[in-house]
């Protein structure tokens, strides 16, 4: 018997007590639909109301919320205002006697060891490191790169650099020297903060050697600051901490001054540095954490992520802007076993737990009774981003693990967005896998090739009005910025995602626009085929790509990873399963979409944030250059893809 489709329904705890419910009532607005409409009818009103509601501190008040005199692609937010992220996220809480001794940061390492800092202790360390950076000659406008795992020092370094007005350049902790050097050079980084090492899958990973190799190619770098034992000519982190705390207020920054450069990894061309400002990034991320994830003072926010992805800075700024505690996890979330995530949530009484669909697919095979043995009662919301869900994994998490009592806030945005375009809210029913609808203050739509709105069919995701955290451009490349986001539809931001709004008004993503396949004249998103494949009991995860085909234009090729715990997934049954998968896709999506190639592989290439790298899979399958792999967690998986294709189709495939 097939279970009823899962839909989370909010109870009084969320309808009456959530932060977004309080915000709506304060403005006489009933329901999330009306709030969404009001938030885009006057975006200036909405974002000003956010600043007031969340008490975000400006050192000098702004005189105007939004100025569009330079056009929609170049908005000026919070005109005339001055602030500093370090002041609004940290100093204001450290100065509050009732908040100063509350926990600000908790770090747990893979070996189970922990350490923590209160807001007062964090403020003290930030002021000391800020003084140390000034002593090295680092100041306003200088770029400081962070090559750190998710540890307390990453938070200290982030706020210390922001405090003195430096520009932050967070780097993915798995980058190779070439990828690091390209970003150091593009941003003209003056100082790098690096950990001596980290631990991943019980293995010590040295982090200083790739930095030294990259710095040798980066003439702008003057200082390498090592958390651990420095080498010759390098500076010890402990030396910065030994400084007397920097007195006085944080450096006053104009609202539009640059806070950080968030680099994206493309498959071709040099990485793009998305420009985020003090005011824009603060206001947007604070609103996400408060209203989408329902986190405030006393809350505990934990997201399995990396400093080099936008979720790293978002977690820091968004959590502390709301006076909550941030839990950082350093290591692999499946070590020592698949229950690590639940232990982490139980141990630290996490109220907002952020996961990826791939992580949940990995641990879904664990015994439900064993999961039920963990005390997850503190969890109030679940978060996810980065890739589409499959119903089986989503429902297992929401219905089996959490018994339908907490919402899954599945939100989607990007590095250039500084937060989300789409997100459900805890005061509305949330259907399985749904993104809910537009995030507050985000005037998004789905349009066809002519830029006209479409419903019930796949189209391009666009945004009609600017938002505070919208990237101010691509660092040093204005033409690339205009070409990437503003050239397709005049006056509309084109994000590069395909989306659909169904008959009930629910929003779903169908993958990146350049991932979508054209099979026999019909557009097909990889996620649609992958959802069918993943529903098979022997399949843990899957990647689908389109390849040139003389008859169809493009043919579907599928790669699947077996579930280790399922006997039926044994290698000698690979062809039998492949035929079953072809049949299922044909039955559910149509025979023209049945994969012409189905390959069993032990792993798929993914980023550290668990996104499957489909374009790299396609390139490897076709024997082409996969491009920039600097963000790959396991680039060796591409060799497996190449070998699987070769053994299946041979030289004439």
Task: Indicate if 248 and 133 belong to the same structural domain.
Answer: yes
- Best-predicted range by mean pLDDT (121-125, 263-267, 353-357, 555-559): 121-125
Same domain, 502 and 538: no
Question: Is 639 inside a domain boundary?
Answer: yes
Residue 484 in any domain: the answer is: yes
pLDDT tens digits, one per residue of 28-54: 999 999 999 999 999 999 999 999 999
Indicate if 490 and 530 belong to the same structural domain: no
CB contact at 8 A, 53 and 455: no
Residue 375: per-residue pLDDT: 97
Q: Are residues 554 and 470 in the same domain?
A: no
- How far apart, in whole angstroms, are the C-alpha atoms of residue 617 and residue 1? 37
| Maximum pairwise Cα distance, the chain | 73
Tens digit of each residue's pLDDT (9 = 90 or more) over 90-129 = 999 999 999 999 999 999 999 999 999 999 999 999 999 9
Nearest CA-CA partner of 154 in 139, 135, 136, 173: 173
Please report the pLDDT score of residue 535 as a whole number.
Answer: 87
Structure tokens at 623: 């024997």
Q: What is the pLDDT of residue 581?
A: 94
For residue 202, count other CB atoms closer than 10 A to its CB.
11
Indicate whether 456 and 543 sit together in one domain. no
Domain enclosing residue 494, as ranges: 19-332+411-508
Higher-confidence residue: 94 or 547? Answer: 94
Chain segment 488-522, per-residue pLDDT in tens: 999 999 988 888 898 888 888 877 766 767 786 66
Which residue did the predictor score with more confidence, 589 or 618? 618
H or E stretch including 50? Answer: helix 43-54
State the pLDDT at residue 4.
80
* 121 vs 442: CA distance, rounded Å: 36
pLDDT greater at residue 369 or residue 328: 328
What is the C-alpha to C-alpha distance for residues 283 and 51, in angstroms, rounded to an integer? 7
Q: Indicate if the alpha-carbon torsion angle 582, 584, 587, 592 is positive or negative.
A: negative
160 inside domain:
yes
Same domain? 498 vs 590: no
For 56-60, 249-253, 537-541, which range has the lowest pLDDT when averaged over its residues?
Answer: 537-541
Instruction: Answer yes or no: do 495 and 533 share one domain.
Output: no
What single DSSP character describes residue 85? H
Q: What is the pLDDT of residues 131-143, one digit of tens each?
A: 999 999 999 999 9
Res 651: pLDDT: 43
What is d(CA 390, CA 151) in angstroms, rounded to the nearest whole number?
32
Structural domain includes residue 381: no
Q: What is the predicted pLDDT for the residue at 542? A: 92
Q: What is the mean pLDDT of residues 456-474?
A: 95
> Are 172 and 23 within one domain?
yes
Predicted confidence at residue 640, as pLDDT, reads 85
Query: Confidence class of residue 359 from pLDDT cuts 50, 70 and 90?
Result: confident
Run of H or E residues at 410 = strand 408-410
Q: What Å distances lie between residue 276 and 168, 258, 300, 436, CA to CA?
A: 10, 6, 25, 26
Digit-coded pLDDT (tens) for 638-648: 988 898 888 87
Range of weakest confidence among 190-194, 334-338, 424-428: 334-338
- 42 and 121 in a common domain: yes
* pLDDT for residue 653: 43
- Over 90: is that where the pLDDT of 527 sits? no
Q: Does the structure show a pLDDT above 50 at 186?
A: yes
Q: Percentages helix, strand, coil for the chain, rounded to the nearest 5?
A: 35, 25, 40
What is the reported pTM?
A: 0.85
pLDDT recorded at residue 1? 39
CATH code, domain with 424: 3.40.50.12780
User: What SS3 state is found at 167?
Assistant: strand
Looking at 481, 508, 535, the residue that finishes a domain is: 508
Number of domains in the chain: 2
Measuring CA to CA, which residue among 485, 79, 50, 97 is closest to residue 284? 50
On the question of pLDDT at 180 being above 50, the answer is: yes
Q: Which of 154-168, 216-230, 276-290, 513-527 has the lowest mean pLDDT?
A: 513-527
Q: What does the pLDDT read at residue 567?
A: 61
* pLDDT classification of 153: cutoffs 50, 70, 90: very high
Could you tell me if 111 and 203 lie in one domain?
A: yes
Using CA atoms, how far residue 603 sits from 394, 440, 491, 507, in Å, is 21, 38, 42, 30
Residues 239, 108 within the same domain: yes
For residue 97, tell me if it sits in a domain. yes
Is 267 a residue whose pLDDT tops 50?
Answer: no
Instruction: Select from 471, 487, 508 the last residue of a domain.
Output: 508
580-588 CB contacts, 8 Å cutoff, 24+ apart: 580/536, 581/532, 581/533, 581/536, 581/539, 584/532, 584/533, 584/535, 584/536, 585/529, 585/532, 585/533, 585/556, 585/558, 588/532
Q: Are 639 and 626 in contact (CB under 8 A)?
A: no
pLDDT score for 631: 67
Decide which of 269 and 501 is more confident: 501
Three-state SS at 519: strand
CA 576, CA 610: separation in Å to the nearest integer? 28
Query: Do residues 100 and 72 share a domain?
Result: yes
Are 222 and 135 contacting, i.e. CB atoms less than 8 angstroms apart? no
Radius of gyration for the chain, computed over Cα atoms and rounded to the nearest angstrom: 24
Indicate whether 379 belongs to any domain: no
| Residue 345, in any domain of the structure | no
| Sheet (strand 189-195) strand order | 235-236, 223-227, 189-195, 143-147, 167-170, 258-264, 272-277
| HEC-encoded secondary structure of 334-393 | CCCCCCHHHHHHHHCCCCEEEECHHHHHHHCCCCHHHHHCCCCCCCCEEEECCCCCCHHH
Picking from 29-43, 117-131, 379-393, 468-482, which range would have the lowest pLDDT averaged per residue?
Answer: 379-393
Tell me what the mean pLDDT of segment 193-221 comes to. Answer: 95
Q: Which two tokens stand for residue 142?
A: 């200088």
DSSP 610-635: --B-HHHHHHHHTT------TTBS-T
Under the banding of pLDDT at 50, 70 and 90, the label for residue 593 is confident
CATH number at residue 621: 3.30.300.30
Q: What percent of the chain has pLDDT over 90?
A: 70
Of the candidates 455, 474, 508, which is a domain's last residue? 508
Q: Does 629 map to a domain? A: yes
pLDDT of residue 522: 65
Distance CA 631, CA 607 (A): 6
Give mean pLDDT, residues 80-88.
98
Structure token digits, residue 369: 């009774």
């Amino acid at each position: 018997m097939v279970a009823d489709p899962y839909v989370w329904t909010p109870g009084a705890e969320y309808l009456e007590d959530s932060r977004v419910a309080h915000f709506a009532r304060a403005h006489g607005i009933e329901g999330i639909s009306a709030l969404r409409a009001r938030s885009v009818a006057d975006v200036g009103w909405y974002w000003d109301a956010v600043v007031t509601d969340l008490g975000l501190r400006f050192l000098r008040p702004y005189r105007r919320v939004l100025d569009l005199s330079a056009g929609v692609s170049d908005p000026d937010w919070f005109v005339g205002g001055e602030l500093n992220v370090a002041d609004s996220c940290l100093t204001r809480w450290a100065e509050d006697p009732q908040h100063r001794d509350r926990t600000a940061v908790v770090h747990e390492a893979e070996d189970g060891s922990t350490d923590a800092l209160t807001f007062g202790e964090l403020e003290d360390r930030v002021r000391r490191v800020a003084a140390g950076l000034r002593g090295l000659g680092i100041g306003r406008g200088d770029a400081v790169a962070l090559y750190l795992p998710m540890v307390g020092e990453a938070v200290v370094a982030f706020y210390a650099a922001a405090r003195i007005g430096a520009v932050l350049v967070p780097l993915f902790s798995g980058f190779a020297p070439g990828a690091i050097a390209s970003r150091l050079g593009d941003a003209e980084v003056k100082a790098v903060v690096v950990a001596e090492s980290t631990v991943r899958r019980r293995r010590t990973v040295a982090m200083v050697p790739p930095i030294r190799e990259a710095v040798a190619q980066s003439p702008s770098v003057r200082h390498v600051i090592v958390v651990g034992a420095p080498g010759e000519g390098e500076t010890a982190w402990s030396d910065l901490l030994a400084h007397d705390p920097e007195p006085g207020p944080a450096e006053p920054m104009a609202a539009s001054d640059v806070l950080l450069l968030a680099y994206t990894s493309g498959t071709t061309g040099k990485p793009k540095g998305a420009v985020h400002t003090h005011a824009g990034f603060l206001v947007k991320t604070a609103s996400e954490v408060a209203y989408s994830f329902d986190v405030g003072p006393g809350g505990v926010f934990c997201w399995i992520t990396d400093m080099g992805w936008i979720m790293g800075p978002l977690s820091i700024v968004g959590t502390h802007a709301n006076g909550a505690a941030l839990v950082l996890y350093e290591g692999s979330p499946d070590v020592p076993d698949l229950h690590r995530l639940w232990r982490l949530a139980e141990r630290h009484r996490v109220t907002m737990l952020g996961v990826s669909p791939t992580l949940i697919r990995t641990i879904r095979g664990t015994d439900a009774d064993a999961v039920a043995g963990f005390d997850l009662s503190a969890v109030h919301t679940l978060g996810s981003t980065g890739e589409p869900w499959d119903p089986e994994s989503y429902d297992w998490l929401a219905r089996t693990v959490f018994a339908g009592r907490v919402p899954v806030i599945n939100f989607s945005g990007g590095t250039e967005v500084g937060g989300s375009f789409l997100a459900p809210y805890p005061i509305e029913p949330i259907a399985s896998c749904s993104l809910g609808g537009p995030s507050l203050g985000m005037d998004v739509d789905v349009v066809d090739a002519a830029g006209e709105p479409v419903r019930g069919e796949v189209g391009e995701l666009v945004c009609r009005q600017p938002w505070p955290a919208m990237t101010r451009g691509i660092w040093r490349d204005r033409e690339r910025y205009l070409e990437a986001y503003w050239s397709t539809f005049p006056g509309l931001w084109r994000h590069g995602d395909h989306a659909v709004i169904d008959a009930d008004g629910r929003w779903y993503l169908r993958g990146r626009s350049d991932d979508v396949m054209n099979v026999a004249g019909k557009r097909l998103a990889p996620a649609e085929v992958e959802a069918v494949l993943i529903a098979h009991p022997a399949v843990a995860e899957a990647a689908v790509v389109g390849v040139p085909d003389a008859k169809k234009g493009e043919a579907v090729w599928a790669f699947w990873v077996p579930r280790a715990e399922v006997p039926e997934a044994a290698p000698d049954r690979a062809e039998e399963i492949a035929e079953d998968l072809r049949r299922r896709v044909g039955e559910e999506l149509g025979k023209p979409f049945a994969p012409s190639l189905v390959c069993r592989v032990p792993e798929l290439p993914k980023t550290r944030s668990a996104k499957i790298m489909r374009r790299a899979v396609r390139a490897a399958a076709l024997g082409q250059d996969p491009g920039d792999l600097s963000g790959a967690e396991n680039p060796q998986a591409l060799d497996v893809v190449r070998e699987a294709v070769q053994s299946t189709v041979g030289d004439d495939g």
